[in-house]
Amino acid sequence: MSSLPRPSIWRARSVLLAALLGLTLVLAAMLAYEAHDAARSHRATAERALRDYAAVAAFELAAGVTDDLDRVVLPLITPLTGTRAVTAYERLPAPSAITAPADSALHCGNAPSDAPRVTFRLDFRDGSFLAAGTPLSSAERDGIADTIAAHARGVYQSDWRYAAIRTRIGGSDHIVFYSVKYAEQLAPIAAFGFTACADALDAPAFAAAMRRHALLPSALVGAMANDSLLVVDVFDAAGRKLYSTDVPAGVPSPYVGEVALARFGGVRARASLRPRAVEALALGAMPRSRLPLLLALLALTAGMATVAVLQLRREHELARLRSDFISSVSHELRTPLAQILLFAETLSLGRVRSESERRGASDVIVQEGRRLMHLVENILHFSRAERRMTRLAPEPAALAPIVRETIDAWSPLAVAAEVAVRAELDEDVAALVDARALRQMLLNLLDNAVKYGPPGQSVLVTLSSASRDTARITVDDEGEGIPTAERERIWTSFYRLERHADSSVAGSGIGLFVVRELAGLHGGRAWVETAPSGGARFVIELRLAHFESGLEYPTPHVRRHPPVNGHPPDA
């Protein structure tokens, strides 16, 4: 038997192992959290960057449209308003000084003839409004004058070089470009401007800007067209859609940026990235969440730690059981050994006074020797069963003689315990059995009946054929019986009922395990029920052999194991 570690060392080892496992679990949890946190912040950074790119795209679009307009508008207007007036009373040039804007440059390709090309001057000092170019009705003149006066007063910023507003002239939308001329102290003295068709700040203007300007850094997106990278929508101040990319190339992503062009009447440009742009800008697909993987890893670590702790506990329990087993077996072996020694000494010292005393002493020695042999056989069976090396030599045999012989050999022990044994045996029952194993099973049950039954009880052993195919042996005692809940557990090794575990009745908890193991190897079964007396009835069922019928004997379930290291397993 291998040596067992001392309990204190055991406990220290278990605590150390449990602590290490706990630490592993905590570390795994921390690592999982850190990895998750890193992935989350990586994702958040990437998302922030993508939203910034969308904002940059919207800004670039606004800047592109502004650039396009600046290129046409500034040369017309800056000569008149680009410098401050020396005095507030300066004479101002006529509006015709603004050369008429080129339609093509302002994208009036759709309806050039509809666009009244008017240049105007609104003098803030006396309120006079002068217009040149296509004649206007007085209502139209007043409308333009009022619109410009209100806008210049309320919206126009002194650092703007010009502004554009959408207004209706002659029943259709127009864009009015104008610039304020300041005198010293930023005193506004007049506004110079001209009208253009609505296209100047409508879909064509934005479509042209989309074509002409790269809205995302070409170092990242290469030569891909804006349309395939972005969904762009432009709204006027009232929320009306002025322009929208209508390329149905994929769904827009949630990465959206928006820019308002205050100088152009609050027009808003909104850009959202398409998945292709997300891929190009995030240098590959957006990092996927690793949370499920991390959780699985954590669960696996927790599972492994749990299994290890359970294994540890099991090992601990086994070690305890083994140590209990060793002490109870030694205890069981000691009693017959002490008796043998006592009577052997009596004989060897010649202390017997008569022939009958001498016979009595040698009977005790034989009896206790048998008992010892039975205990040792049990241990051997148990250890073979544990190593799955039990081998049986079954032969067809009548069972009654074997049972009777076993009871007879055991009866002196029964007499010593004041137990009466009754046997009701059907002489015709025969089965394929290993007689030695059957004896061992019976002796275990008889021993238990005496150990756990009251003195003076009577034990009944029966042998019958329960059905056409089964022989049944029962052993009834008049003890307290086995509680229903324990009727399965008592067959497991080392298990003893609580009321017996701490009692003076010696036992090691392997007897019933051996009974069931041997019954199973015979292709039979063993169980316990309640005897009519209220005590325990242990039942062994074996497969019957039919001698008379000439049938083949049923082959019992015999475990055969290959020789170990070339040697046959011990018999």
Answer yes or no: are the C-beta atoms of 362 and 347 closer than 8 Å: yes
Specify the DSSP element, H or E, that contains 559.
Answer: none
Integer Cα distance of 249 and 277 in angstroms: 12
Contact string (CB under 6 A) for ligand ADP, positions 477-516, x = contact: x-x--x-------x-----xx--x------xxxxxxx---
Smallest distance, Å, CB 435 to ligand ADP? Answer: 21
Contact string (CB under 6 A) for ligand ADP, positions 523-542, x = contact: -------------x------
Paired tokens of 273: 């990235």
If binding means CB under 6 A, how many residues of this protein chain bind ligand ADP? Answer: 19
Smallest distance, Å, CB 511 to ligand ADP? Answer: 3
Smallest distance, Å, CB 546 to ligand ADP? Answer: 32
Residue closer to ligand ADP, measured from CB, 119 or 440: 440
Q: Pick from 98, 277, 364, 449 the residue near ligand ADP by CB under 6 A.
A: 449
Answer yes or no: are the C-beta atoms of 19 and 219 closer than 8 Å: no
9: CB partners within 8 A, 6+ apart: none
Residue closer to ligand ADP, measured from CB, 147 or 378: 378
Rg (CA), the chain: 54
Residue closer to ligand ADP, measured from CB, 210 or 512: 512
| Stretch in the footprint of ligand ADP (CB under 6 A) among 254-262, 412-420, 445-453, 561-569 | 445-453
At 317, the amino acid letter reads E
Burial 65-100 (b: 16+ CB within 10 A, else e): bbebbeebbeebbeebbeeebeeeeeebeebeebee
Residue closer to ligand ADP, measured from CB, 291 or 505: 505
Residue closer to ligand ADP, measured from CB, 131 or 421: 421
Q: Rounded to the nearest 10 degrees, how much is the dihedral formed by the CA atoms of 462, 463, 465, 471?
A: 120
Residue 127 burial by Cβ neighbours in a 10 Å radius (0-12, 13-18, 19+): exposed
Closest CA to 29 of 299, 310, 288, 304: 299
- Tokens 């001392």 found at: 6
Integer Cα distance of 371 and 409 in angstroms: 10
Query: Sign of dihedral through CA atoms 370, 376, 382, 386?
Result: negative
| Stretch in the footprint of ligand ADP (CB under 6 A) among 2-10, 164-172, 447-455, 547-555 | 447-455
Residue closer to ligand ADP, measured from CB, 175 or 475: 475
Residue closer to ligand ADP, measured from CB, 129 or 452: 452
Smallest distance, Å, CB 331 to ligand ADP? Answer: 11
Smallest distance, Å, CB 437 to ligand ADP? Answer: 16
CA atoms within 13 Å, Cβ hemisphere of 438: 33
| Stretch in the footprint of ligand ADP (CB under 6 A) among 185-193, 349-357, 359-367, 446-454 | 446-454
Smallest distance, Å, CB 526 to ligand ADP? Answer: 11
Residue closer to ligand ADP, measured from CB, 358 or 487: 487
Closest CA to 117 of 105, 129, 131: 131
Integer Cα distance of 14 and 9 in angstroms: 8
The string of DSSP codes covering 249-295 is -S---S-EEEEEEGGGTTEEEEEEE-HHHHHHHTTSSPPPP-HHHHH
Using the rule CB under 6 A, is 336 a contact of ligand ADP? no
Residue closer to ligand ADP, measured from CB, 340 or 528: 528
Helix (H, G, I), strand (E, B) or coil at 335: helix
Smallest distance, Å, CB 475 to ligand ADP? Answer: 8
Residue closer to ligand ADP, measured from CB, 213 or 500: 500
Smallest distance, Å, CB 380 to ligand ADP? Answer: 15
- Of residues 385-444, those binding ligand ADP (CB under 6 A): 444
Q: Which residues bind ligand ADP (CB under 6 A)?
A: 444, 448-449, 452, 477, 479, 482, 490, 496-497, 500, 507-513, 536
